[in-house]
Amino acid sequence: MGTSVQVSPLCGVYNENPLSYLVSIDSFNFLIDCGWNDHFDPTLLQPLSKVASTIDAVLVSHPDTLHLGALPYAMKQLGLNAPVYATEPVYRLGLLTMYEQFLSRKQISEFDLFTLDDIDSAFQAMTRLTYSQNHHLTGKGEGIVIAPHVAGHLLGGTMWKITKDGEDVIYAVDLNHRKERHLNGTVLASFVRPAVLITDAYNALNNQPYRRVEKENEFGETIKKTLGAGGNVLLPVDTVGRVLELILTLEQYWTDKSLNYPIFFLTYVASSTIDYVKSFLEWMSDSIAKSFEQNRENPFLLKHVRFCISKSELDNAPDGPKVVLASMASLEVGFSHDIFVEWATDAKNLVLFTERGQFASLARILQADPPPKAVKVTMSKRVPLVGDELIAYEEEQNRIKKEEALKATLIKEEESKASQSADINASDPMVIDVSKTLASPDVAGQHSAGYRDILIDGFVPPSTSVAPMFPFYENTFDWDDFGEVINPDDYVIKDEDMDQTGMHVGGNLDGKFDEGSANMILDTKPSKVVSNELTVHVKCSLIYMDFEGRSDGRSIKSILSQVAPLKLVLVHGSAEATEHLKQHCLKHVCPHVYAPHIEETIDVTSDLCAYKVQLSEKLMSNVLFKKLGDYEIAWVDAEVGKTDSGMLSLLPCSNAAPLHKSVLVGDLKMADFKQFLASKGVQVEFAGGALRCGEYVTIRKVGDASQKGGGSGLQQILIEGPLCEDYYNIRDYLYSQFFLL
Amino acid sequence: MVSTGPQPSLKRRDSLVTREDDQLIITPLGAGNEVGRSCMYMSYKGKTVLFDCGIHPAYSGMAALPYFDEIDPSTIDVLLITHFHLDHAASLPYFLEKTTFKGRVFMTYPTKAIYKLLLTDYVKVSKVSVEDMLYNEQDINRSMDKIEVIDFHQTVEVNGIRFWCYTAGHVLGAAMFMVDIAGVRVLYTGDYSREEDRHLRAAETPQFSPDICIIESTYGVRQHQPQNVREKHFTDAIHSTISEGGRVLIPAFALGRAQELLLILDEYWSNHPEIQNIPIYYASPLAKRCLSVYETYIHSMNDRIRAQHAAKSNPFVFKYISPLKSIENFKDVGPSVVMASPGTLQSGLSRQLFDMWCSDRKNACVLPGYVVEGTLAKTIINEPKEVTLMNGLIAPLNMQVHYISFSAHADSAQTSAFLEELLPNNIILVHGEANEMGRLKQKLISQFADRNIKVFNPKNCQSIEMYFNSQKMAKTIGRLAEKTPEVGETVSGLLVKKGFTYQIMGPDDLHIFSQLSTANITQKITIPFGGAFSVLNHRLKQIYESVESSMDEESGVPTLRVHERVTVKQDSEKHISLHWTSDPISDMVSDSVVALVLNIGREIPKVVAESEAIKVEEENEKKVEKVIYALLVSLFGDVKFGENGKLVISVDGNVAELDKQTGDVESENEGLKERVRTAFQRIQNTVKPIPLSAA
């Protein structure tokens, strides 16, 4: 039987919540994606917390909060302890996303779900892979191969292919099949007939026609108009993902139209983002790679866009119309939130959404139709403590310090006592038990603890001690036949240090985000968060334009029917979208479509039977293959035998094989066939769903070939006509389209 | 249309051919017992791979090319370039543009970016006559469009050849390629280094052990000094020269190792404030242009560089090193350090400076890389008393010459350790001077003496042939595999081959497991027929063993079903129609039915008595026997009627007895027995082609 595969969603089914799914392959548990949303609500992770400790590996697909946001928290609090696999950009940009989230949160609240250190340690566990790298798992997952493939949508975005015993499980969410400015389209369509495909229904109902040029023009026009009228434009964006495409679009538009309005890219990590992105060219589209190879032109050497990492930089900028790309896209927190509150009251301004806001976020509320006249927002600010508060804080801190110091000394005293008493417990206090001292470093440690207290507190013999002693240990030497045993390491000349010192520069993860923001958040200056609620009257114009970079519903459907998985699992998407896509796929893609609910485990083990046989040389020498595209096929009749090693092998038949029903192999496309016939001088035309060839003969194709998995997969072709020469000629042409086996 | 049934025996290939199919050939077209023009040809199972495509730096024009005339470029499926050095990549534009090659070319991203810069420069500076030019700048630009990129570890499959690459150290973007054809793996290291330096990672150890390892042997059995010792020598030599007021010339190849040396110098200068007033010049216009490549592909470098990059300081922006455009811009006043290309001292800026400085005792020349035989750089290593300048004059060689190798090639210890980890079954040494290579071969043979590992060092165009008896495994899937068969049972189905994987499946499952689909062609042909339907029925029964008559359920017209294959329907008084599903036998039956129908109109039906019918049958039986006998005679010659109706066939003294009824054959000789049995089966198929019912 095939490999057992179970899928159990932990979050993000029948809604647009973050993504997180448990996929077990022969009881090896993959956690695919580990997302959270901008609200950071721990209850969303409830299902994850139950299984976190059983996870064997984590696969991350995109560098945004929805796909990896919960990673630091899960590692720290939920007992998730497994290797994480991602592409290099997902690692880098994911790290920046998390920094940004943390810094934005910390600015307005006492955020304590995770710290920067937690983010660092969570990401340190990541193994970085490149696209189409077949990574063979070892240990428990022996035999499983994982490979990331291009997904589009975000830089480094990954579609995971997990293979075991020749059966593919593909996880592909947030795809974009179209080439964009900076990204290539997904390669999903090149995978054919995987055993299981897990995909999202997020865009199943979104059937916006796609016209990049017009859309980008409209985008530019809209912004230009607002700027021309003296208004400002705010684009709430994600930290590192789609914003890259927007930046390139704006750069291009500004260059084409020679505009001078300033563009600001404002996130806590803006300049790091661009720095990293500059060195990720090999992950971007072919055209970018090509222009770099040819002319060494890096499109992310930006001419018009300026990066800011604090709002003061923006405030210091000269007045006048400007475009600001600011995080977060949800408008819940971050710079975009503050700027929105500031600008919303001016009718000249424009807030241009480029992606659908997260569920229940401010952005989503504003995207409603018609947009709300006024919204309630909470303005929070971190202010340094002053006056009485500061004094109170300091007193509090001092008190805590004192307490800690007191505790520490108490512990130390306890320890020293313990160590002393340990000595006393030895049978004879005067005999120094060398072996014991040397054998256990713990004991030595206690001794030194004892030392320190002696130095601090003066020489006060514990009341329990029998005889006061100076701590003393003898250096013993091991001897063997050749004399004293030496450790060769002691004699190695340590000149390697010379390059060591030179080679290790800087810590690994520190100092990666911009220093300005770091100072602001991480300084030890006591501060507090002040919040006040206010109502903002939304007067500015609100526009939504789709720059999400996801395939639309129609394309998804056509890709799915092309991929034609044996089993399909649908996740992530509103209930309606999921149901819609499910019904569609049941009809047109394959008979096994699942849309599990949270914590519902579905078994998508393929009911495929298989066994391996060896093809004997004798048999193969008699087989004549026929080439058909990538395939070569032949009919074999063989007798089963056994090899010396007990493998089943196929030998030529000793008796004549019974005649088998002949098989016609080939895919007849009526339109192509029509062309073919026309080229042979036969008059052809389509009439009433049939192909009329010559005067009398008609060819008809019965049954739907597009319904690959669902139907019998057999094309029924009907050729009809009176007895005449044409009939036989046309039949011969028809036969020539097939291989007979 | 092709007939069904067993395959004709003519296609049985003899065992030699099969063996040829398992033959793997590796031929060095260059770099066999020499350094330069790396080019390895490899062919297995009809798939052909070429590794590298370099030129020999000591020759020019066509003579510098690898021996391309040994192969047919049009048969090559994949060409893999390991790194951008001229001796590995410089004949690529020629090969792509001037030969019949039509396969696909792959290299890593950094290699492709630098390849263009480097070759464009190479074309510009190489001072050969126009007819000697192998290609021009346009050829390089055109070749760029044909080159595809591969990322480290990315698996690519072309035509059943799967390959991926590992970091090789050596220079930025250098790769070792692992090629997998039908389960046989070949690793080609290109130039590699197992030592991590200031900016590059060390060569990785591949996850899988290859069957064949084609490995460089540049340094033969020599051992490198530890890196820090070499660096100390290097910096000490420079420091002492400049502190005595001398000038230091470092002739280096523009790209690759030069960056490493610059990193060392810059760091040394920053640690030694006392010499910071002494300028370091780097004279290479190329290097500046390549800098953006180095900055962009930071992820191909080691953690140290990446950490610096992350800390926002660009490691390739040097504090103490300034660029130098040409010798005109160079003010030769007082001590200085100049790094200039080319590393061979054959021409160019490095030679100009050498000529200026060579006679002054205070000056020094530090050769930091591998020096190729036949160049001035190689000559001065032996510290001759005098050298010939570019203008033909002879000058005394007074300057000190230091040879401190930083060229990132594996040394003997690294090679041994690397092979010890890999344990390939076959080792092929390339890219090394004949003597060095021979010594390394001896060393490796003794190292792996107790293991069955073969070591080769082929000369150019000398092929190494190996045989890999690959077991072909097939996976039976789908409905055909519902039950695992016992020994002796038969399996019949479609054998589908894609690349080198085989699957056996039932025809119904074809569309599930492959992109192929099957079709049914139903035919309907209308024939004018004015006679009585019962006459037709009668005539058909005379010819065919099975004719069933019934009524069509829908239209209520009478129908006849011949051999359960062809249905004859009386559509109207004037017409009948034939319905059947295409396959060769049904087509034949329908054709004969058509002929019969057409003939009925002409002939008056003969009434045949029952007894005659029996007689006919007997006659038929006799005829069949005669035919069988005649065919057997034509095949085997000596055929006699033996006892109890058996046929005795004797061929070359071997005797076989054939039972005509059952088809059983008895013979001492297995081969004859097999042949007689097959022959008899086929004869029977010919005599009685139509089985009573459809299979």
For chain A, residues with pLDDT lower than 70 are 1-2, 415-478, 488-525, 608, 654-659, 703-713
Does residue B280 fall inside a structural domain? yes
Interface test with B, best of A146, A273, A282, A650 (most B CBs within 10 A): A282
State the Cα–Cα distance between residues B162 and B182, nearest whole angstrom: 9
Q: Please provide the size of chain A in residues.
A: 741
- Quick check: B469 pLDDT over 80? no
Compare all CA atoms of chain A with the CA of B594 and give the residue at the minimum distance.
Answer: A723
| Among candidates A499, A615, A657 on the partner chain, residue whose Cβ is nearest the Cβ of B473 | A615
| Among candidates B491, B517, B523 on the partner chain, residue whose Cβ is nearest the Cβ of A715 | B517
Tell whether omega for the bond before B505 is within 30 degrees of 0, i.e. cis.
Answer: no
| Phi, psi of A492, deg, nearest 5 | -70, 130
User: Is B291:B316 a contact under the CB 8 Å cutoff?
Assistant: yes
Domain encompassing residue B32 = 20-222+409-467
Cα-only R_g, chain B: 39
User: Is A236:A328 a contact under the CB 8 Å cutoff?
Assistant: yes
Compare all CA atoms of chain B with the CA of A565 and give the residue at the minimum distance.
Answer: B512
CB contact A648 to B (< 8 Å): yes
Q: Cα distance from A241 to chain B (closest Cα, Å)?
A: 19
- Tell me whether residues A667 and B517 touch, CB distance under 8 A: yes
User: Is A279:A338 a contact under the CB 8 Å cutoff?
Assistant: no
User: Is A671:A664 a contact under the CB 8 Å cutoff?
Assistant: no
Does residue B608 fall inside a structural domain? no
- Tell me whether residues A714 and B478 touch, CB distance under 8 A: no
Q: Which of B403, B430, B449 marks a domain boundary?
A: B403
- Tell me whether residues B487 and A641 touch, CB distance under 8 A: yes
| Among candidates B4, B475, B491 on the partner chain, residue whose Cβ is nearest the Cβ of A166 | B475
Shared domain check, B372 and B387:
yes
CATH of A5-207+546-599, one of 3.30.465.10, 2.60.40.10, 3.40.50.300, 3.60.15.10: 3.60.15.10
- Tell me whether residues A499 and B227 touch, CB distance under 8 A: yes
| Among candidates A293, A666, A668 on the partner chain, residue whose Cβ is nearest the Cβ of B112 | A293
Instruction: Of B528, B598, B538, B529, give the one whose Cα is nearest residue B562.
Output: B538
Compare all CA atoms of chain A with the CA of B112 and give the residue at the minimum distance.
Answer: A293
Residues of A (168-197) whose Cβ lies below 8 Å from B: 192-193
> From its phi and psi, is residue A292 left (phi > 0), alpha (psi between -120 and 50) or beta?
alpha
Residue A501 has a pLDDT of 42
Interface test with B, best of A640, A731, A737 (most B CBs within 10 A): A640
User: Is A155:A63 a contact under the CB 8 Å cutoff?
Assistant: yes
Shared domain check, B413 and B390:
no
Model confidence pLDDT, tens digit, residues B510-539: 877 777 778 888 888 888 887 788 888 888
User: Is A56:A27 a contact under the CB 8 Å cutoff?
Assistant: no
CB contact A738 to B (< 8 Å): yes
CB atoms within 10 A of CB A355: 22
> In terms of C-beta density within 10 A (0-12 exposed, 13-18 middle, 19 or more buried), how is residue A412 classed?
middle
State the Cα–Cα distance between residues B440 and B444, nearest whole angstrom: 6
Residue B57 has a pLDDT of 79
- Tell me whether residues B6 and A134 touch, CB distance under 8 A: no
Q: Which of B388, B403, B418 marks a domain boundary?
A: B403
A180 CB-near residues (< 8 Å, 6+ apart)? A152, A212, A245, A285, A549
State the Cα–Cα distance between residues B117 and B133, nearest whole angstrom: 18
Q: Cα distance from B398 to chain A (closest Cα, Å)?
A: 33
Residue B258 has a pLDDT of 84
CB contact A675 to B (< 8 Å): no
| Among candidates B4, B476, B481 on the partner chain, residue whose Cβ is nearest the Cβ of A659 | B4
| Phi, psi of B400, deg, nearest 5 | -75, 145
> In terms of C-beta density within 10 A (0-12 exposed, 13-18 middle, 19 or more buried), how is residue A319 classed?
exposed
Residue B676 has a pLDDT of 82
Residue numbers of B annotated as active site: 409
Lowest-confidence pick of A64-73, B230-239, B295-304: B295-304
User: Is A245:A183 a contact under the CB 8 Å cutoff?
Assistant: yes
User: Is B127:B348 a contact under the CB 8 Å cutoff?
Assistant: no
| Phi, psi of B594, deg, nearest 5 | -60, -45
Instruction: Report the amino acid identity of residue B325.
Output: K
Q: Cα distance from A702 to chain B (closest Cα, Å)?
A: 10
CA of residue B463 relative to chain centroid, distance = 17
Domain coordinates in residue numbering, chain A: 5-207+546-599, 212-385+527-544, 614-652, 664-705+713-740
Shared domain check, B455 and B315:
no
Number of domain units in chain B: 5
Considering only CB atoms, which chain B residues are within 8 Å of A503?
Answer: 198, 304
State the Cα–Cα distance between residues A109 and B113, nearest whole angstrom: 48
Does residue B607 fall inside a structural domain? no
Instruction: Of B25, B3, B53, give the one whose Cα is nearest residue B458.
Output: B25
Residue A435 has a pLDDT of 44
Six token digits for residue A273: 């983002």
DSSP state of A181: S
Residue A438 has a pLDDT of 43
Residue A508 has a pLDDT of 42
Instruction: Of A25, A30, A39, give the one whose Cα is nearest residue A10.
Output: A30
CA of residue B152 relative to chain centroid, distance = 18
Q: Which of B355, B386, B403 marks a domain boundary?
A: B403
Six token digits for residue B663: 């088809």
A411 CB-near residues (< 8 Å, 6+ apart)? none
Over residues B280-294, mean pLDDT: 81
Residue A477 has a pLDDT of 64
State the Cα–Cα distance between residues A240 and A62, nearest whole angstrom: 11
Q: Taking each helix axis from N to C terminus, what angle separates B257-271 and B285-296, rounded to the nearest 10 degrees? A: 90
- Tell me whether residues A508 and B307 touch, CB distance under 8 A: yes
> In terms of C-beta density within 10 A (0-12 exposed, 13-18 middle, 19 or more buried), how is residue A489 classed?
exposed
Over residues B86-98, mean pLDDT: 92
Considering only CB atoms, which chain A residues are within 8 Å of B297?
Answer: 279, 282
Compare all CA atoms of chain B with the CA of A731 and give the residue at the minimum distance.
Answer: B523
Q: Cα distance from B676 to chain A (closest Cα, Å)?
A: 12
Structural fold of domain A212-385+527-544? Rossmann fold (3.40.50)
Shared domain check, B95 and B193:
yes
Shared domain check, B542 and B500:
no
Give a three-class secondary structure readout of A126-160. Answer: EEEECCCECEECCHHHCCEEEEEEECCCCCCCEEE
State the Cα–Cα distance between residues A719 and A670, nearest whole angstrom: 13
CA geometry: angle B53, B57, B63, nearest 5 deg:
75
Element (H, E) at B613: helix B610-636
Over residues B561-568, mean pLDDT: 84
* Cβ pairs bridging A and B (under 8 Å): 330
CATH of the domain at B54: 3.60.15.10
Compare all CA atoms of chain B with the CA of A647 and give the residue at the minimum distance.
Answer: B473
- Residues forming a β-bridge with A715: B519
Residue A738 has a pLDDT of 83
Considering only CB atoms, which chain B residues are within 8 Å of A720?
Answer: 523-526
The CB-based long-range contact list for B164-168 (8 Å cut-off, 24+ gap) reads B164/A133, B164/A134, B165/B80, B165/B108, B166/B203, B166/B204, B166/B206, B167/B201, B167/B202, B167/B203, B167/B204, B167/B300, B168/B82, B168/B83, B168/B192, B168/B193, B168/B203
Shared domain check, B178 and B38:
yes
Considering only CB atoms, which chain A residues are within 8 Å of B517?
Answer: 665-667, 705, 708, 713-715
Shared domain check, B37 and B179:
yes
Instruction: Of B173, B181, B601, B236, give the one whose Cα is nearest residue B400.
Output: B236
E strand residue ranges, A323-413? 323-327, 350-353, 374-384
State the Cα–Cα distance between residues A387 and A99, nearest whole angstrom: 32
Does residue B255 fall inside a structural domain? yes
Considering only CB atoms, which chain B residues are within 8 Å of A278?
Answer: 295-296
User: Is B597:B536 a contact under the CB 8 Å cutoff?
Assistant: yes
State the Cα–Cα distance between residues A717 and A701, nearest whole angstrom: 5
Q: Classify B94 as helix, strand or coil.
A: helix
| Among candidates B309, B475, B517 on the partner chain, residue whose Cβ is nearest the Cβ of A612 | B475
Distances (CA, A) of A305 to A247, A249, A633: 7, 11, 57
Residues of A (250-279) whose Cβ lies below 8 Å from B: 272, 275, 278-279
Does residue B8 fall inside a structural domain? no
Over residues B399-425, mean pLDDT: 89
Q: Cα distance from B105 to chain A (closest Cα, Å)?
A: 15
B38 CB-near residues (< 8 Å, 6+ apart)? B30, B31, B51, B52, B53, B54, B66, B82, B87, B88, B190, B430, B431
> In terms of C-beta density within 10 A (0-12 exposed, 13-18 middle, 19 or more buried), how is residue A30 classed?
buried
Question: What is the rounded average pLDDT for all residues in chain B?
Answer: 84
The CB-based long-range contact list for A680-689 (8 Å cut-off, 24+ gap) reads A680/A733, A682/A726, A682/A729, A682/A730, A682/A733
User: Is B96:B68 a contact under the CB 8 Å cutoff?
Assistant: no
List helix spans (H) across B514-578: 533-543
Residue B443 has a pLDDT of 92
Does residue B616 fall inside a structural domain? no
CB contact A713 to B (< 8 Å): yes
Q: Cα distance from B533 to chain A (closest Cα, Å)?
A: 18
CB contact A664 to B (< 8 Å): yes
Residues of A (387-446) whose Cβ lies below 8 Å from B: none
Over residues B201-217, mean pLDDT: 91
Alpha-carbon torsion A109, A110, A116, A121, what sign? Answer: negative
Element (H, E) at B686: helix B670-687
CATH of the domain at B325: 3.40.50.10890
| Among candidates B151, B486, B594 on the partner chain, residue whose Cβ is nearest the Cβ of A723 | B594
Segment of A129-138, A388-397, B563-572, B629-638 carrying the highest mean pLDDT: A129-138
Shared domain check, B124 and B29:
yes
Judging by DSSP bridges, how do beta strands B654-659 and B665-667 pair with one another? Answer: antiparallel
Shared domain check, B310 and B184:
no
Q: Cα distance from B482 to chain A (closest Cα, Å)?
A: 5
CB contact A662 to B (< 8 Å): yes
Give a three-class secondary structure readout of A562-615. Answer: HHCCCEEEEECCCHHHHHHHHHHHHHHCCCCEECCCCCCCEECCCCCCEEEEEE
Q: Output the pTM of the full model.
A: 0.77
Q: Cα distance from A641 to chain B (closest Cα, Å)?
A: 5
- Residues forming a β-bridge with B361: none
- Tell me whether residues A132 and B154 touch, CB distance under 8 A: yes
Q: For the complex shown, is ipTM > 0.95? A: no
Residue B8 has a pLDDT of 38
